[in-house]
Chain A
Amino acid sequence: MENLNLVLPEIFISLSIMFLLILGVFKKNSSKITFNLSLFTILITAIITINETFSVSRETLFNESVVIDSMSSLMKIITLIGGFLVLVISSNYLKTFKIYNIEYPVLILSSILGMMVMISSNDLIVFYMGLELQSLALYVLATYNRDQLKSSEAGLKYFVLSALSSGLLLYGCSLVYGFSGSTNFDIISNQLNSNEYVLTFGIVFILVGLAFKISAVPFHMWAPDVYEGSPTTVTLFFTIVPKIAALTVFIRFLYVPFLNLIDQWQMIIIFLSIASMVFGAVAAIGQTNIKRLIAYSSIGHIGYTLAGLATASNEGIQSSIIYISIYVVMNLAFFSCLLMLRRKDQYYENIEDLSGLSKNHPLLSLCLLVILFSLAGIPPLAGFFAKFYVFKAVLEQSMFFLAIVGLLSTVVAAFYYLRIIKIIYFDKEKDKYDTDHSLWLKFSLTVSTILILLYFIFPSQLIEVVSRINII
């Protein structure tokens, strides 16, 4: 008999989704209660995850198709916390656009479920199932503000391109299956020792598909448009939560089934990393819309995360995970600020709208200052440490070129972050924005800013948690 306790989080969250759907359909005006119940669900799921799986070093279930280890439980918890905070700060935004419906929390829950399945998958089929579940929910979320042309466009674009990448991914999976005779990661890992050229195609297809999901250059084209068009809260969701899951799968693929073929994929990852870092830094310079700018900035950040993965060492994987955790906090903080730019039921998302913010809203501007310098990677803020760990791991492998290109692109990237700071602090002021924000929004901004600001006092804690992850 399998130990079902280990998948209790997934079971609980799927039962809750069904219950919430039924509740939403049969009870009128139930959006508020659905929202609260889904928050509750996420909390409970997180608690179950911590209780049941956090101490497990490595267990497999269902013919070894699902794996529970320290990486999967940590990443699930980050996903859940990210999902919780996104949900909790989106209510005011949704009410403004009159799209405060039951579907929103249910879709977010389903995509989280998909991601949790992805994160603990140890089998090509389980992985693909999770991926599709989260993608389908995300397509709908992108078009969620359906009265707006841009939102529909974003959803359609995302759907078409994402379907294409899923096709590539599936093709790669079938090639790998063909050569190894199994869909199980561990078995694949033992089978793949040969130097078959066609197998390289399989790996490349899989990597392309995954690179698309995390929007690494050159598979990033969809990101700016989708980020700009989607409702802001959904953009926030896009920038953090799916990336965590996709990154975990990336790590899993590279270091379990394909570990022996490291010569084949290492160059690809280094290329993806360098291209993303450089392109993310350069392309963001000319942007005028904050959401587009964040899209390019997140492309750059993914580049740094991939740099950690390219090292083929436990240190590198750990540094990538630290990077993505800090990145999640920084993005949450930044979007909380963005959601505060509201004046008379209208949200502002152009960089120009930040002009002279520091005169009217000194505290908000101070938070933005901290967040932006942290995104730029200036010490002593958290963003610096994220980069520091990654480059420490990269330099351990003596990959000087990668490190130097990466650090030089931080200088380029610093330029556009500074540009925003310049607009906030040095330019002429505009009208005041509303200040009656929800308590949760203020809470998430305050907590994440304080985390960013004071991370340097206790940097060891995060490392300690992450250092339990030993994949290789």
Chain B
Amino acid sequence: MNFPILSSLILLPIVGALFLFFTKDKEGNNLTAKYVALFTTVVNFLISIYLWISFDQSTSSFQFVEDRVWIEGFINYKVGVDGISILFIILTTFITPICIISVNNSVKNRLRDFLIAILIMESFMIGVFCALDLVVFYLFFEAGLIPMFLIIGIWGGERRVYSAFKFFLYTLLGSVLMLVAIISIYWITGTTDVVQLYEIGIDVKYQNLLWLAFFSSFAVKTPMWPVHTWLPDAHVEAPTAGSVLLAAILLKMAGYGFIRFSLGLFPIASEVFTPLIYTLSVIAIIFTSLIALMQEDMKKLIAYSSVAHMGFVTLGIFTLQQQGIEGSIIQMISHGLVSAALFLTVGVVYDRMHSRLISTYGGLVSVIPKYSILFMLFALASLGLPGTSGFIGEFLILMGAFKDNFLVAVIASIGVILGAAYMLWLYKRVIFGKLINKDLKTILDLNRSEYFILSCLAAPILFFGFYPDPLINTIEVSVTDLINMHNTNIASK
């Protein structure tokens, strides 16, 4: 098949954005713009589903590869997917339409510009997940900063400027070292093509430094403790749709990067630095869970819980076990769905009450029951209750961790308990209890579009919770091969 399906996935949102750019910006509820954006992203979602259906699960080699000369004799524009990246692409194309439906209530001014930013963001994110050349990857990885900076800065809350700057400069600082590493890889091996690099391998003496340079970028983006401080600020100040994009997809870029580049390109160094990752991950899980317990702002609490969940992800990746890595990928997908849903649920009450403080609420169950039920589902998924997708991921990660390092696994398991504690306590304070705040009595339950998007998110969370096979089948071969490649690399040294 020669049709450039991946490039069209990347380009389609940009075409949509261009189309929007030439429409007139109306004040108020700009329905045309919304329908155009929605249409584009839904088509993109359907294309990605088609991609998944026609994807061959029995091989770990890259599929749908496109390889074009871009800079003569230096960089090729090369994209392709394997079992690991395809799920992230689908997650991206699934979350973006949901973001667009949700802007109904949260974004009041300059709707058209907001939609343009979201669409451009989508195409950059898809680009990150299917790039098979380090420079192309870096390009997409960094370019995403521009729309996100604007989304936080223009449509964010009160301290939006501070948060936008912090987000931008932190991530840029992390990434420039990665650029040095990428260019160095080019001079060491003579190529930046990931597939070729997998075959050639990189000399052991360079691996540690290069690994650290990539790590500096991914650690900021993941975010790992202690460079996670940009995340709560960015999340809290971003508009709901922005928080959803950030939590659901942007954070996954780094996890994906760890699997594809850190493990794939630097196997020896990955082994060397596993203790470092373990330490940082365990600290992230325990420490940020404790911080989350003490938060008074709902969005901040979910932001800290994201850091803790991403701690599980990095832990799982560096167990270098089949279960660990599979668990990490499923955890990332699941966290993408759950955190998106949680931010949207917070967004629902925020739009009505204009407060994110937990103390504002209480006793919601008696006034808005539908909302309370969905909120409960997402809270339980976040803490990893069996039957939700959150459980599969965490369980597999802990299984991998127990195989590799008993102590780390035990400490991480404590994190699961803490996770349950802060989520349930949040739920209790917001939904149960006495209805003290009188303004809450007139609060409206979910409207149609909110009900629709939250159910859209609830369905896959439950479905993959009971039946994770489609996910596991997709990633299985790729992960097995990654680990085999890793083991042969280690053995040969």
**Residues of A near any B CB (own CB < 8 A):** 362, 373, 378-380, 384, 388, 391-392, 395-396, 400, 403-404, 407-408, 410-411, 414-415, 418, 421-422, 425-426, 456, 459-460, 463-464
Contact = CB atoms under 8 A, between A and B. Distances in A.
Contact of A460 (B71, B173, B180): B71
A161 to B, nearest CB: 34
B71 A395 contact: no
Interface string B160-196: 1100110011001100110110011011000000000
Contacts, number: 78
B139 interface: yes
Contacts of B154: 425-426
Contacts of B161: 422, 426
Given A418-B165, A422-B161, A408 B173 contact: yes
Contacts of B390: none
B143 A408 contact: no
Q: Is the interface of B mostly helix, strand, loop or mixed?
A: helix
20 contacts: A373-B146, A378-B143, A379-B138, A379-B139, A395-B183, A395-B184, A404-B177, A408-B176, A410-B172, A414-B168, A414-B169, A414-B172, A418-B165, A421-B149, A425-B154, A426-B153, A426-B154, A460-B70, A460-B71, A463-B71
A421 B135 CA distance: 26
A400, A407, A459 — most chain B CB neighbours (10 Å) = A407
B297 interface: no
B271 interface: no
A379 B72 CA distance: 19
Contact of B139 (A395, A408, A414, A456): A456
Interface in B118-170: 135, 138-139, 142-143, 145-146, 149-150, 153-154, 160-161, 164-165, 168-169
Given A378-B142, A414-B169, A426-B160, A464 B150 contact: no
A463 B135 CA distance: 17
Given A384-B139, A403-B183, A422-B165, 6 more contacts: A407-B179, A411-B173, A414-B168, A425-B154, A426-B164, A460-B71
Contacts of B153: 421-422, 425-426
Given A378-B143, A418-B165, A425 B150 contact: yes
Contact of B143 (A379, A391, A415): A379
A362 B25 CA distance: 10
Contacts of A411: 169, 172-173, 176
A415 B180 CA distance: 20
Nearest to B150: A425
A464 B135 CA distance: 20
B184 A418 contact: no
B139, B154, B176 — most chain A CB neighbours (10 Å) = B176
A388 B161 CA distance: 29
B211 to A, nearest CB: 16
Nearest to B173: A411
B180 A403 contact: yes
A380 B139 contact: yes
Interface string B352-381: 000000000000000000000000000000
A408 B142 CA distance: 15
Given A411-B173, A422-B164, A460 B139 contact: no
B180 A400 contact: yes
A271 B149 CA distance: 34
Interface of B: 25, 69-72, 135, 138-139, 142-143, 145-146, 149-150, 153-154, 160-161, 164-165, 168-169, 172-173, 176-177, 179-180, 183-184, 186-187
B15 to A, nearest CB: 15
Contacts of B150: 425
A395 B169 contact: no
Contacts of A418: 149, 165, 168-169
Nearest to A422: B161
A410 B145 CA distance: 15
Given A392-B186, A395-B183, A415-B169, A460 B176 contact: no
A384 B149 CA distance: 17
Contacts of A425: 150, 153-154
Contacts of B72: 460, 463-464
B25, B69, B169 — most chain A CB neighbours (10 Å) = B169
A380 B142 CA distance: 8
B203 to A, nearest CB: 14
Nearest to A464: B72
Contact of B176 (A373, A396, A410): A410
A392 B183 contact: yes
A396 B139 contact: no
Contacts of B149: 418, 421
A464 B74 CA distance: 12
B205 to A, nearest CB: 13
Given A418-B149, A422-B164, A426-B161, A395 B180 contact: yes
Contacts of A404: 177, 180
Contacts of A422: 153, 161, 164-165
Contacts of B69: 460
A391 B177 CA distance: 12
A446 B207 CA distance: 45
A380 B135 CA distance: 11
B77 to A, nearest CB: 10
A107 B422 CA distance: 73
Nearest to B185: A395
Nearest to B170: A411
Contacts of B25: 362
Given A426-B160, A460-B71, A407 B176 contact: yes
Contacts of B146: 373, 378
Contact of B145 (A378, A392, A407, A459): A378
A373 B184 CA distance: 25
A460 B72 CA distance: 6
B165 A391 contact: no
Nearest to A426: B153
A400 B179 CA distance: 12
Nearest to B25: A362
Nearest to B186: A392
Nearest to A393: B183
B156 to A, nearest CB: 9
Contacts of B139: 379-380, 384, 456
Contacts of B187: 395-396
Contacts of A408: 173, 176
B213 to A, nearest CB: 9
A415 B164 CA distance: 11
B233 to A, nearest CB: 15
A459 B150 CA distance: 27
A404 to B, nearest CB: 6
Nearest to A366: B21
A391 B186 CA distance: 12
A121 B153 CA distance: 51
Nearest to B135: A388
Given A378-B143, A379-B138, A463-B72, A391 B180 contact: yes
A314 to B, nearest CB: 15
A256 B100 CA distance: 60
A403 B182 CA distance: 12
A122 to B, nearest CB: 31
